[in-house]
Amino acid sequence: MELIQKTADLSAYLAADEVIDHHHPVVRQTAARLAAEVNDSYEYARVAYEFVRDTIPHSQDSGDLRVTWRASDVLSLGTGICHAKAHALAALLRAEDIPTALCYQRLSDDEGGHALHGLIALRFHGAWHRQDPRGNKPGVDARFSLDGERLAWTPDAASGELDHPFLYAEPHPAVVAALRAAPDRPSLWRTLPDTL
């Protein structure tokens, strides 16, 4: 699949905003700690990915009812759904000057409908590479890779699933609005968009 930048200016994929708040002390401290463990940007990207994937539980898997949406809150509280975890990873990568985009998939949900899934793409060696920090569990084995995608899921077109090809410099406003308005995760499942 060809990934399409929604914004031509690559610097937009390094910017901080209210959601990807990589100037926040919690994000900066976490990034500095992870960067001290590695020798180059590639290793940093892998370590940051594994940190978000493995140490911040997906709130559905852990049973946490809290809804986080801002990167610094995801890192501080240690919880989030796929979108929130993507925001945290984007902030950690941008904090170390690695261009990072937000990406989306439309996937089938457990109730016979569809759900919008959030992930990221990072730019290395002149190309974008999607990564899914959702968190592994039985049946899900996402891995950091620049040599072919190792995402949590591959959409099934026959089931109405799809990969959205666009690379967003900012999280999609419909996703952010649902995250911000939800008092808890069960409420969020009822209001999160199922497509863009």
- What pLDDT is recorded for position 35? 97
**Quick check: is 157 in a domain?**
yes
Supply the pLDDT for residue 161. 93
Q: What is the pLDDT of residues 20-71, one digit of tens each?
A: 999 999 999 999 999 999 999 999 999 999 999 999 999 999 999 999 999 9
Residue identified by tokens 């892998």 is 46
Element (H, E) at 95: helix 82-95
For residue 64, is it within any domain?
Answer: yes
11 lies in some domain: yes
pLDDT of 1? 83
Rounded to 10 degrees, the C-alpha dihedral 184/187/188/189 comes to 130
196 domain-assigned? no
Mean pLDDT over each residue of the chain, to the nearest integer: 96
Residue % of the chain over a pLDDT of 70: 100
Rounded to whole angstroms, the Cα distance separating 151 from 145 reads 9
Closest by CA to 3, choosing from 125, 146, 132, 166, is: 166
Q: For 93-127, how does the pLDDT look when each residue is reduced to its tens digit (9 = 90+)?
A: 999 999 999 999 999 887 788 999 999 999 999 99
Mean pLDDT for 122-142 is 95
Q: Give the mean pLDDT of 69-87.
A: 98
Residue 140: beta bridge partners?
137
Q: Residues with Cβ < 8 Å from 156, sequence gap 6 or more?
A: 108
How far apart are the C-alpha atoms of 6 and 165, rounded to whole Å? Answer: 10
Q: Is the pLDDT of residue 196 over 90?
A: no
- Tell which residue, 132, 72, 95, 100, has the closest CA to residue 12: 100
The predicted pLDDT at position 109 comes to: 84
pLDDT given at position 136: 93
- Residue 115 parent element (H or E): strand 114-124
Distance CA 43, CA 25 (A): 22
How many structural domains comprise the chain? Answer: 1
Average pLDDT (77-104) is 98
Residues β-bridged to residue 107: 115
pLDDT at position 30: 98
Helix or strand holding residue 167 (H, E)? strand 162-168
Is residue 122 a part of any domain in this protein? yes
Residue 133 lies in a domain: yes
In a domain, 161, yes or no: yes
CA distance 185 to 171: 19
CATH of the domain at 171: 3.10.620.30
Owning domain of residue 104? 4-191
Q: Is the pLDDT of residue 90 over 90?
A: yes
pLDDT-derived band at 72 (thresholds 50, 70, 90) equals very high
pLDDT at 140 over 90: yes
Per the structure block, which two tokens stand in for 59?
Answer: 């709130």
